[in-house]
């Protein structure tokens, strides 16, 4: 991102942002407007840069709702400028401020036309954009011809031509006479041969408007439109960037025939939407079944499992769902997913339909079995379960039906797939025993409430994207569907049957939905069921505790539902960082991005960007843990001179997720210390707190400067002594060779000026310090002792005492080796105060003069 | 047709306003206020489309998305597809994100010119101009190059330096 480059504008916007109320804002705006007015009127004239700046200010003020009519002329005048940057401002601002009836626009029509017919593409684009945005009869009369020429010109790049198409559309809407149907329809037809989809989309918008106005005039375009549709929809001849969830260019009036192109993602999202906003559950079932019918290829198993789960848990819904399932499966060509969903629903609830005409178990069996030969073995296995259930749920099954079903079982007793074979053999045996075995094949018990597997899946998909904290929080909202079913207490129907038998049934259905969706024990069987553990390898959803929104206060011990938890519970070890906090801080002090802190649970990364006295920092808090981190606390300590504004951090970070906390930084005055960051979180076992330092060091507001000697010396001499010029001798300095020492200074954003000091053991440097209170040029001279690299003499000078002293501390803290510093004795600051300033100062200047003469 | 594109922060402060139809500045402010009022009262888990004949008149629908501190609001007429506009918002935000690297409200506030320039490459005269983020980025790069040309990067101090 380039800096806006206009300091005055930034300052003005900052001022407005700092206003506490509307009155203050109005006062500030009025002051600025008065200023702008005076400047515009002044005889002296303005530089192009100033004009640009003031016109942007006007747009900003206009956006806030203030009247800036007086400045319209100035904005328009910029259109005639020759420099791109000014012209651009003129065009953009004019398009925002003025409407088509503004008489000033007439003044620049010629300029606009010149830009449109010019060979300069960027000027053409600017002009077209403005004309399209403003519109107007006057424009359309004088410019439409030129715009048409641009549109059909083969010499223009597609960027220009698509803008020309939309521009013409706008002019046509204002004044339909600008387009002459006879001559233009052939042109339109030629334009449809365009291969660039951007141009084609724009041309299509134009065509739609033209056709709407004169339906008969453009018949010659029809065959080409059909060909384009075919190309896009059937051949999928379309760049990836133009697809919306796999549907080519929704801008081309959403192609009805594109249904088959819906991808799994869209299906999943549709299913979630349906679940979230379902007015009632039968509607939900309808929608999902329709979805399966239309886009079966892309409906993952999770989606229909969810339907099964709802239907099972809602008694009222069961007959309806069974009826719908029968209707769909009876259709001639049915997608396999539909066969699975319908087959399962009919197996479970088909008997509820028995009283309705055409829904006898025999007829249901017939409908399902018609599809049996066409489906995969997995589905066949599922259907076998449906058959036996259909049979057993009927009190007095038709003899013929029994024979038919048994015939199927017998046929598959020797089937090559072991699963199908096993089911066939066992169901045959069960069936022969007759109704005594009905309990085993009773309806499935209700599912325990849990997070929607679909939502979870969607979250997994979204995890890959870097989401802002707000979006993440929202995605955790429980679905309304769950709430609905929660109101019905889950109970095992038919008074409950022995849990062991129930489990054994589950085992038979390894590949069907029951095995996957009933992996958690039903509510009536509280104890841990070993069969359950063995029989259900495919547990599809993580335990609810880890994904549901965490409680406000995390429990000290793991959730009480786990009976083994107490046995293995031990006091947690203190959490240690995985590296050196000081080293991370040091790296961040000299670079924009990096790690601030990391431990086994949490990682805090920093990205920052500084412009002059302003900075933006983003803290990236990543949860490395498999459970949520709760009670997140982030407190930024305030230090004098810096204004730090951070957005509140969310309460919790979901597992494996990352949240972002932006911090705005403003350097009001040269700061003398570094802000702290108190960070705390709970990992479910313990509360971890850590005190960190934010790498907002003085260097972030420094810009190295290179000054020639003749500019350096007068400034150096102008600062005569404390507090403007500070000098001291430092000991216990990290011993570094001269080159490394200069490198260190450069990394601290202090610009070493080579060759300024003739003594190669001395360094002269300069850096500009940016603060809201003013920018200060700081001059630095360091004289090292070649015989003892651990000591040196530092002199800092500037025209601002605060800047001098902040700079001094910054340098001292970075070059003095803390480890070597004696713990007792005068601190560096005291040493500075004690140093004989005046005498040293004189010597210094003499030494310098001597250097200069040489 | 797209009637207006607005970016408004959580406090109702406009960060970008762009109207493609002729209405008076007073009416513009009214629309901004009304849109914000309606949207700020909507819970986060409802869909991003609103129609309110009383506030916006017949035929107008709002399509919006809420990102962190900002509402991205498109006022469109009935001829536009809601999902299409949602995708357009995504393209818009995605492009902003690319240009500003992790865009935040401050970026938009201080770089109004950039935001207008970006929007001009996506929507033109109330019509969708381009949805291909690659094309949009290409156009913006060209513009960036041009903008930078006359003003070389400051190597010397600029502005009032106390010397």
**How confident is the model over A566-596, as pLDDT tens digits?**
333 445 677 888 888 888 888 888 888 888 9
Contact B17 A198 (CB under 8 A): no
CATH of the domain at A643: 2.60.40.1230
Higher pLDDT: A545 or B50? It is B50
Please check whether residue A318 lies inside any domain of the structure: no
Taking residues B10-37, what's their average pLDDT?
89
Report chain A residues whose CB lies below 8 A from the CB of B160: 774-775
Are A596 and A741 part of one and the same domain? no
Are A774 and A662 part of one and the same domain? no
Question: What are the C-alpha distances in Å from A28 to residues A4, A197, A668, A774?
Answer: 21, 48, 19, 20
CA distance A115 to A256: 42
A799 Ramachandran zone, left/alpha/beta (phi>0; psi -120 to 50): alpha
8-state DSSP, A629:
B
Taking only residues 75 to 94 of chain B, the set having a beta carbon closer than 8 angstroms to any beta carbon of chain A reads 81, 83-84, 87
How many domains is chain B partitioned into structurally?
1
| pLDDT value of position A612 | 83
**A447 contacts A312 by C-beta, under 8 angstroms:** yes
Write the residue in B25, B69, B134 that is nearest to A241 by C-beta: B134
CATH of the domain at B25: 3.30.450.60
Please check whether residue A760 lies inside any domain of the structure: yes
* Ordered alpha helix ranges (H), A556-673: 565-568, 581-590
Contact A4 B29 (CB under 8 A): no
Domain end call among A668, A696, A724: A696
Domain end call among A255, A287, A316: A255
N-to-C CA span, chain B:
56
Are A713 and A820 part of one and the same domain? yes
Taking residues A412-440, what's their average pLDDT?
77
pLDDT tens figures, B46-102: 888 888 777 777 788 999 999 888 999 999 998 888 888 988 999 899 999 888 888
Question: Residue A636: phi, psi to the nearest 5?
Answer: -90, 125
The H or E element that residue A530 is part of is helix A530-535
Contact B157 A703 (CB under 8 A): yes
> Residues in chain A, how many?
854
The overall average pLDDT reported for chain A is 74
Question: What are the C-alpha distances in Å from A447 to residues A4, A54, A306?
Answer: 58, 66, 10
**How far, rounded to the nearest angstrom, does the alpha carbon of residue A257 sit from its chain's CA centroid?**
32
Domain end call among A681, A696, A711: A696
Beta bridge partners of residue A623, listed in sequence order? A602
Contact status of B22 with chain A (Cβ, < 8 Å): yes
CA distance B85 to B48: 10
Are A708 and A848 part of one and the same domain? yes
Contact status of B161 with chain A (Cβ, < 8 Å): yes
Report chain B residues whose CB lies below 8 A from the CB of A169: 125, 127
Taking only residues 26 to 55 of chain B, the set having a beta carbon closer than 8 angstroms to any beta carbon of chain A reads 29, 32, 44-45, 47
Own/partner long-range contacts of B153-161 (Cβ < 8 Å, ≥24 apart): B155/A706, B156/A705, B157/A703, B157/A705, B157/A768, B157/A775, B157/A777, B158/A7, B159/A7, B159/A775, B160/A774, B160/A775, B161/A768, B161/A775, B161/A776, B161/A777
Distance from CA of B54 to the nearest CA of A (A): 23
CATH of the domain at A793: 3.30.310.10
Taking only residues 130 to 159 of chain B, the set having a beta carbon closer than 8 angstroms to any beta carbon of chain A reads 130-135, 139, 142-144, 146-151, 155-159
* Helices B112-122, A48-63: crossing angle, 10 deg rounding: 80
Contact A163 B129 (CB under 8 A): yes
> Quick one: pLDDT band at residue A828, thresholds 50, 70, 90?
very low
| pLDDT value of position A823 | 42
SS3 A673: coil
Q: Is A163 annotated as a binding residue?
A: no
pLDDT tens figures, A732-759: 888 888 888 888 888 888 888 887 888 8
Nearest to A432 by CA among A388, A396, A393: A388
Distance from CA of A63 to the nearest CA of B (A): 6
Are A614 and A756 part of one and the same domain? no
Are A655 and A703 part of one and the same domain? no
Are A804 and A840 part of one and the same domain? yes
8-state DSSP, A398:
-
DSSP output for A643-658: EEEEPPPPS-B-TT-E
Write the residue in B66, B101, B150 that is nearest to A85 by C-beta: B150
Contact B150 A92 (CB under 8 A): no
Please check whether residue A119 lies inside any domain of the structure: no
Question: Residue A248: phi, psi to the nearest 5?
Answer: -65, 135
Tokens of A289: 């079944």
Residue in B with minimal Cα distance to A253: B81
Are A627 and A756 part of one and the same domain? no
Q: Is A703 annotated as a binding residue?
A: no
**How far, rounded to the nearest angstrom, does the alpha carbon of residue A508 sit from its chain's CA centroid?**
44
Distance from CA of B13 to the nearest CA of A (A): 8
Taking residues A248-276, what's their average pLDDT?
52
pLDDT tens figures, A198-216: 888 888 888 888 888 887 8
Domain that holds residue B132: 2-148
Please check whether residue A431 lies inside any domain of the structure: no
CA-based torsion, A505, A508, A514, A518: positive or negative: positive
Write the residue in A62, A170, A774 that is nearest to B125 by C-beta: A170
N-to-C CA span, chain A:
45
**B49 contacts B80 by C-beta, under 8 angstroms:** no
How many domains is chain A partitioned into structurally?
3
Report chain B residues whose CB lies below 8 A from the CB of A659: none
pLDDT tens figures, A312-340: 877 778 888 888 888 888 877 778 888 88
Please check whether residue A204 lies inside any domain of the structure: yes
Domain that holds residue A190: 183-255
Contact B84 A799 (CB under 8 A): no
């Amino acid at each position: 991102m380039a800096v806006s480059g206009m300091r005055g504008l930034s300052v003005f916007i900052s001022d407005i942002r700092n206003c506490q109320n509307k009155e203050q804002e109005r006062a500030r705006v009025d002051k600025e407007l008065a200023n702008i007015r005076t400047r515009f009127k002044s005889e002296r004239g303005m530089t192009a840069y100033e004009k640009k700046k003031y016109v942007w200010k006007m747009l900003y003020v206009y956006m806030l709702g203030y009247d800036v009519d007086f400045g319209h002329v100035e904005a328009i005048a910029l259109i005639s400028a020759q420099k791109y940057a000014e012209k651009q401002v003129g065009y953009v601002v004019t398009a925002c401020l003025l409407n088509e009836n503004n008489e000033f626009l007439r003044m620049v029509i010629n300029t606009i036309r010149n830009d449109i017919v010019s060979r300069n593409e960027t000027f053409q684009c600017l002009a077209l954009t403005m004309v399209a945005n403003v519109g107007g009869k006057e424009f359309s009369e004088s410019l439409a011809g030129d715009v048409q020429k641009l549109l059909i010109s083969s010499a223009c790049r597609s960027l220009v031509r698509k803008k020309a198409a939309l521009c013409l559309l706008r002019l046509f809407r204002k004044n339909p006479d600008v387009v002459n149907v006879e001559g233009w329809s052939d042109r339109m037809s030629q334009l449809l041969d365009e291969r660039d989809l951007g141009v084609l989309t724009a041309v299509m918008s134009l065509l739609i408007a033209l056709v709407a106005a004169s339906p008969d005039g453009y018949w010659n375009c029809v065959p080409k439109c059909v060909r384009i549709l075919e190309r896009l929809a059937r051949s999928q001849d379309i760049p990836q960037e133009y697809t919306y969830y796999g549907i080519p260019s929704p801008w081309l009036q959403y192609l009805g025939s594109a249904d088959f192109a819906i991808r799994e993602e869209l299906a999943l999202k549709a299913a979630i939407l349906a679940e979230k906003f379902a007015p009632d559950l039968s509607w939900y079932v309808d929608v999902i079944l329709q979805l399966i019918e239309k886009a079966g290829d892309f409906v993952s198993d999770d989606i229909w499992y969810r339907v099964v789960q709802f239907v099972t848990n809602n008694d009222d819904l069961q007959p309806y769902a069974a009826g719908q399932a029968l209707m769909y499966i009876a259709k001639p060509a049915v997608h396999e997913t539909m066969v699975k969903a319908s087959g399962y629903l009919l197996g479970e609830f088909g008997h509820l339909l028995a009283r309705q005409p055409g829904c006898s178990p025999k007829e249901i069996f017939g409908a399902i079995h018609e599809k049996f030969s066409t489906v995969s073995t997995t589905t066949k296995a599922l259907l076998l379960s449906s058959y036996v259930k259909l049979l057993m749920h009927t009190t007095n099954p038709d003899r013929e039906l029994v024979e038919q079903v048994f015939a199927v079982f017998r046929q598959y007793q020797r089937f090559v797939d072991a699963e199908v074979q096993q089911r066939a053999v066992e169901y045959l045996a069960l069936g022969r025993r007759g109704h005594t075995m009905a309990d085993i094949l009773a309806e499935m018990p209700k599912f325990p409430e849990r997070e929607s597997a679909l939502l979870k899946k969607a979250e997994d998909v979204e995890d890959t994207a870097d989401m802002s904290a707000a979006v993440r929080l929202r995605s955790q909202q429980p679905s309304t569907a769950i709430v609905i079913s929660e109101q019905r207490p889950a109970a095992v129907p038919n008074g409950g049957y022995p849990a062991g038998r129930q489990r054994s049934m589950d085992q038979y259905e390894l590949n069907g939905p029951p095995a996957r969706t009933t992996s958690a024990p039903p509510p009536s069987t509280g104890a841990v069921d070993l069969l359950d553990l063995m029989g259900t390898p495919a547990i599809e959803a993580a335990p609810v505790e880890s994904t549901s929104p965490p409680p406000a206060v995390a429990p000290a011990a793991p959730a009480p539902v786990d009976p083994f938890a107490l046995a293995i519970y031990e006091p947690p070890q203190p959490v240690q960082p995985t590296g050196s906090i000081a080293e991370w801080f040091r790296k961040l002090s000299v670079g924009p991005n990096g790690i601030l802190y990391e431990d086994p649970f949490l990682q805090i990364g920093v990205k920052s960007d500084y412009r002059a006295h302003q900075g933006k920092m983003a803290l990236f808090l990543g949860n490395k843990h498999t459970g949520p981190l709760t009670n997140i606390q982030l407190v930024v300590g305030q230090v004098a001179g810096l204004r730090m504004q951070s957005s509140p951090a969310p309460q919790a970070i979901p597992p494996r997720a990352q949240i972002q906390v932006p911090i705005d930084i403003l350097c009001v005055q040269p700061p003398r210390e570094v802000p702290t960051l108190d960070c705390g979180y709970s990992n479910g076992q313990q509360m971890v707190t850590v005190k960190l330092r934010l790498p907002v060091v003085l260097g972030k507001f420094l810009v190295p400067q290179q000054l020639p000697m003749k500019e350096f010396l007068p400034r150096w001499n102008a600062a005569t002594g404390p507090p403007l010029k500070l000098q001291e001798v430092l000991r216990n300095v990290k011993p570094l060779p001269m080159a490394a020492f200069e490198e260190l200074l450069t990394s601290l954003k202090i610009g070493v000026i080579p060759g300024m000091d003739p003594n190669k053991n001395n360094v002269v440097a300069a850096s500009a310090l940016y603060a809201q209170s003013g920018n200060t040029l700081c001059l630095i001279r360091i004289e090292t002792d070649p015989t003892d690299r651990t000591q040196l003499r530092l002199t800092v000078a500037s025209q601002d005492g605060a800047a001098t002293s902040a700079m001094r501390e910054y340098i001292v803290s970075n070059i003095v080796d803390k480890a070597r510093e004696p713990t007792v004795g005068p601190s560096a600051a005291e040493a500075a105060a004690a140093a004989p300033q005046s005498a040293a100062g004189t010597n210094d200047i003499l030494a310098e003069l001597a250097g200069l003469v040489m | 047709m797209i009637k207006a594109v607005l970016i408004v922060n959580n406090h109702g402060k406009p960060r970008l306003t762009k109207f493609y139809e002729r209405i008076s500045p007073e009416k513009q402010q009214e629309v901004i206020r009304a849109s914000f009022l309606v949207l700020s009262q909507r819970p986060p888990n409802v869909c991003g489309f609103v129609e309110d004949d009383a506030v916006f008149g017949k035929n107008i629908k709002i399509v919006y998305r809420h990102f962190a501190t900002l509402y991205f609001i498109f006022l469109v007429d009935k001829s536009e597809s809601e999902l299409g506009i949602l995708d357009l918002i995504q393209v818009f935000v995605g492009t902003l994100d690319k240009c500003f690297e992790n865009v935040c409200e401050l970026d938009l506030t201080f770089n109004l010119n950039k935001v207008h320039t970006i929007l001009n490459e996506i929507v033109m005269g109330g019509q969708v101009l381009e949805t291909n983020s690659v094309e949009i980025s290409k156009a913006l790069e060209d513009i960036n190059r041009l903008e930078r040309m006359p003003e070389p990067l400051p190597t010397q101090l600029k502005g009032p330096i106390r010397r």
